[in-house]
Chains A and B, each alone.
Chain A
């Protein structure tokens, strides 16, 4: 997994006989008083997968936007094949063969895969008609090049995010892209989807494309990339071969200091059963799911995306209804479909999608944190603003939230800090059972360790924690027990001592070991 077997890149640093396909030379970019990039240089060579590492706010997004023509550098140059170029708009970058694949592509849902690929550039036959045969032939050729099997006639609606990314890649290739920038492509993918994406990236590399790969998952960088450039606070820190680098060394470059263990799991005494789920069924979604979580325990719910993990969490919390079975908290059964009842029984759910489900993005930090405890903030009939602020401030301090003012809207915060607000919002209800869905998706390494430490402390204080995660190292690093779901059923329960990447993935793929 961590092997850097492909470390001998065709063009390592310093060996370049050909100039880099795309390069930044001494680029700086400021927004108002914020210096987002300071004298940053980067070289992308044909045939290499180059990782861009750095915490949230290190300047990765600004760098990507500079390379793709969204931003223009204040100083410094963008070079293609050694010659300076100026991208005034994204279309300029596209014309030069630079394509960006985003984490969640935007497609036209009612058009087919092939129509999405050639949107606006359909091959023409006589009288300006769209030459569908040529379009299909070219799409088939692209999919063969990528080594993937996608039905070109399928409507984009209903494609998984992983498939949508492949369509985007095909679209980029159809424009003869030579540089692919992939901005956190794996954040929403399951294990075998990631593996398939990597196969595609390797194929592209062999065909001479340069790939700039951004991911918060360090394992992926070590698995896929030959070189890595690290940014910190907008400044260039290092560009170096991945081979010979350790995880710890890379983390040190990113955060500028040694990180406490990324998975600070404490051993906690387990108490009585806090959450008991018995033969819970929601037709067509999940079937006969039974498990228990004890006080002091962190239980991970692993599985592929779409296995029904989040759906079980939603049903337990009452956001969705269930068709059969029951849920018991501290020995008392919950009524179905009532988040209010679940909350008063001591259950909290930190949902998967913090922008839609976790937070009211336009509202302030204090209002978001207060939303789960409006009754407790009442003085007579009205809400006490002082109490609201105190509650928010208490939790902001405890979770080391970085903020300007508590009255600022949460949408100005970084992803990691937004996640802390969601945590604060739920921990302030003093739950006994915490269900947390993808606790660290899309947040930087430093904040990730902090979230893990918080979870670990909560468990050792006697909270029962059910953690859904697609991040295997996180599952293995944090969980006392791992439950694995496959196609709506619970298929395995693996104690901490026996949980390995192999055992979890085998169960998640539905194979019996």
Chain B
């Protein structure tokens, strides 16, 4: 058998690039983002005395809660080569509904589940348009981005509703006793672990990567591509609506324009975390690093009194950089690709 192998060892040089140098294992994008995160943290701590104390970090984390939650669902979608740009609008619609219903005298215990169901329905609409009509999700969710934000304005107009029950507000701003971790962040941590396991260790996750990398092969392997994508959009809408509840309570203010533009921060975090916008590649660890990096940068900019306009410029730059850099790296690799031999090793049993 060894002779057979030697005979057929394939010096097909254009593709033989399998032996990955040990160094490049550390040059993985998500690892680099992790390193960058540490550097930004250290730089922030050195440059600004208010930065590295528990109070500020707790605030920075809390301020990040909604982005972080939505980024989990967005990661699943982008890995499967889809995207949901309507998340911030669903958040806004959710906030408007919370305000309107609270103002109308509904119990908060009824409002929250109802709003989350409405969010799931928003996601279902996105999912049906994408899977049944075969439309690109980028186009569909740009449309529903405007639609859901418009509905939010129909529901609440220019009003701002405040004075929500303190016990619920506390849940969104207080820290878990004995830690500097706000409750929403603790919830994020739990959901992040669940998402990481689902993405990287279950059949569902394997299916997502296969769909994102080669949707036809996934279909031919008996994976229910449409159903899975539909579920992802529903999850995305559901999470965005829940994030809308947290946002509303945390700021103590329900407004139709809450969270405008948040989808860009979410997508920037996901792409910065190394998830390929074309699908099929990425790690949840990278996304968490990406979320934290964006959060720290926003916090640093705020501490240094940088205007929100400039903050938005930074978010945009990060988004562009995280899309461009992997392409540049890929091109550079291709240029100086020195193929290594595919050495046949007898499989050990």
Contacts and interface: CB of A to CB of B under 8 A. Distances in A.
- Tell me whether A and B are bound partners: yes
Interface of A: 31-36, 55-57, 59, 61-62, 233-234, 255-256, 317, 319, 339-340, 342-343, 349, 351, 356-363, 367, 370-372, 374-375, 377-378, 381-383, 393, 396-397, 400, 402-406, 408-409, 411-414, 416-417, 425, 444, 446-447
A360 B13 contact: no
Interface of B: 1, 4-5, 7-19, 197, 201-203, 205-207, 209-210, 213-214, 216-224, 280-281, 338-345, 347, 349
11 contacts: A56-B12, A57-B10, A61-B14, A340-B222, A370-B206, A374-B206, A375-B203, A381-B202, A382-B201, A397-B347, A444-B8
A382 B14 CA distance: 36
A374 B203 contact: yes
B347 A383 contact: no
A412 B11 contact: no
B210 A32 contact: no
Contacts of B19: 404
A61 B14 CA distance: 10
A123 to B, nearest CB: 36
B8 A358 contact: no
Contacts of B341: 32-34
A396 B11 contact: no
Given A33-B341, A374-B203, A408 B222 contact: no
B344 A404 contact: yes
B340 A393 contact: no
A252 B281 CA distance: 44
A360 B220 contact: no
Contacts of A383: 201-203, 205-206
A414 B15 CA distance: 9
B214 A356 contact: yes
Given A358-B220, A397-B349, A404-B342, A35 B210 contact: no
Task: From B201, B205, B339, B347, name the one whose CB has the most chain A CB atoms within 10 angstroms.
Answer: B347
B330 to A, nearest CB: 12
A444 B12 CA distance: 13
Q: Which 10 A-B pairs have the closest CB atoms?
A: A374-B203, A57-B10, A414-B10, A34-B11, A31-B13, A382-B201, A412-B18, A360-B214, A339-B222, A408-B18
Given A233-B7, A408-B18, A357 B217 contact: yes
Contact of B210 (A343, A363, A382, A409): A363
Contacts of B342: 404, 412
Nearest to B338: A32
B278 to A, nearest CB: 10
Contacts of A396: 347
B11 A57 contact: yes
Contacts of B10: 56-57, 402, 413-414, 417
A404 B16 CA distance: 11
Given A33-B340, A339-B222, A371-B210, A405 B8 contact: no
Nearest to A356: B216
B203 A31 contact: no
B204 to A, nearest CB: 8
Contact of A414 (B8, B209, B347): B8
B339 A393 contact: no
A472 B280 CA distance: 38
A58 B223 CA distance: 37
A31 B8 contact: no
Nearest to A409: B18
B279 to A, nearest CB: 10
A319 B220 CA distance: 7
A392 to B, nearest CB: 9
A61 B12 contact: yes
Given A397-B349, A408-B18, A356 B217 contact: yes
Contacts of A404: 18-19, 342-345
Contact of B340 (A32, A36, A319, A374): A32
Contacts of B221: 339, 371-372, 425
A59 B203 contact: no
A458 B54 CA distance: 66
A59 B12 CA distance: 8
